[in-house]
Amino acid sequence: MKVVILAGGQGTRLAEETETRPKPMVEIGGRPILWHIMKHYERYGFDEFLVALGYRGESIKRYFLDCLALSGSMTVEFPDGKVTRHGGEREEWTVHLVETGKESGTGGRLGRLAPWLRSEPFMLTYGDGVSNIDLKELLAFHESHGKMVTISAVRPPARFGALEFEEGSAVRFTEKPQVGEGWINGGFMVFQPEVLEMIAGDDASLETDVLETLAESDQVMAFPHSDFWHCMDTLRDVRYLRDMWDTGKAPWTSGSWD
């Protein structure tokens, strides 16, 4: 099953980080958040990706080309330009890097991927959020209900840190990352290919023109995930995710990734 990653937005609220690169290339632990997302899918057996490019898509292409070309040791024979590679770890991925327009909406980007996706259901997520959601359970849920779309329902992180204290005792400050009110779309989704026929053009919004329309006809189901989820919308989010990684407390990993 193919995995679509929407990676074309400008990330304007992260201007300090995204002036020269798209948001999915902002790094956590020396790796782009895009890499972290793909490793999570790989953990559940999904290793073919369609990355929808837009804003500064060339930096994403360059990253994957460099991953391939510069891994491991190599011998360069200058007279004829021959390069021989020796060892080096490489991801077991197939990655389609597809230009989907600089100004396209989220639905328009998906529409441009239609030639790759019409034959079977596919997964889709955004290039700026990490979670420890069980993707196999998400897919099994989708296959069980027969609707067009399954979205992941998550609890948004609280806007403010919380206090823990008892009367007469000292205060402790906590992040309380998963105590936000209500449920929102966490971005880890499964689609039937027929959804592609609803996309009218590049300006289409996946959220309003597709998902909301399908919801009105009872074609969207929610898979609740009450454990870890966090998106990277602000510089505070970047610092928070980097701190989790640096302290070895990154819930979106299995604890074994370099």
CATH of the domain at 143: 3.90.550.10
pLDDT in tens, 62-96: 999 988 778 789 899 999 989 888 877 778 899 99
pLDDT at residue 255, as a whole number: 42
Residue 69 lies in a domain: yes
In a domain, residue 50? The reply is yes
Per-residue pLDDT, 25: 94
Query: Which value, in Å, is the radius of gyration of the alpha carbons in the chain?
Result: 20
Tokens representing 115 are 């030639």
What is the model's pLDDT at position 168?
66
Helix (H) or strand (E) holding 198: none
Query: Does residue 182 contact residue 139 with C-beta atoms inside 8 Å?
Result: no
Considering the domain boundaries, does residue 48 fall inside one?
yes
Q: How many domains does the chain have?
A: 1
Whether 40 is in a domain gets the answer yes
Q: Is the pLDDT of residue 258 over 60?
A: no
User: Per-residue pLDDT tens for 200-248?
Assistant: 999 999 999 999 999 999 999 999 999 999 999 889 999 999 999 999 9
Predicted local confidence at residue 256, as pLDDT: 40
Does 52 map to a domain? Answer: yes
- pLDDT tens for each residue of 24-36: 999 999 999 999 9
∠ CA 152-155-159, nearest 5°, is 140
Residue 136 in any domain: the answer is yes
The residue with greater pLDDT, 154 or 177, is 154
Segment 162-206, tens digit of pLDDT = 667 676 667 766 665 555 568 999 999 999 999 999 999 999 999
The label of the residue with tokens 């080096």 reads 88
- Chain centroid to Cα 51, Å, comes to 10
Tell whether 253 is covered by a domain.
Answer: no
CB-based contacts of 60: which residues, under 8 Å, 6+ apart? 7, 22, 24, 25, 34, 51, 53, 97
Category of 219 on φ-ψ map: left (φ > 0), alpha (ψ -120 to 50) or beta: alpha
Range of the domain at 174: 2-246
Q: Can you give the pLDDT at residue 138?
A: 98
pLDDT at 187: 95
Helix (H, G, I), strand (E, B) or coil at 134: coil
Q: pTM score, two decimals? A: 0.88
Model confidence over 85-142: pLDDT tens digits? Answer: 887 777 889 999 999 999 999 999 999 999 999 999 999 999 999 999 999 999 999 9
What pLDDT is recorded for position 144? Answer: 97
Amino acid 114: pLDDT: 97
pLDDT of residue 107: 97
pLDDT at residue 156, rounded to an integer: 83
Tell me if 257 is assigned to some domain: no
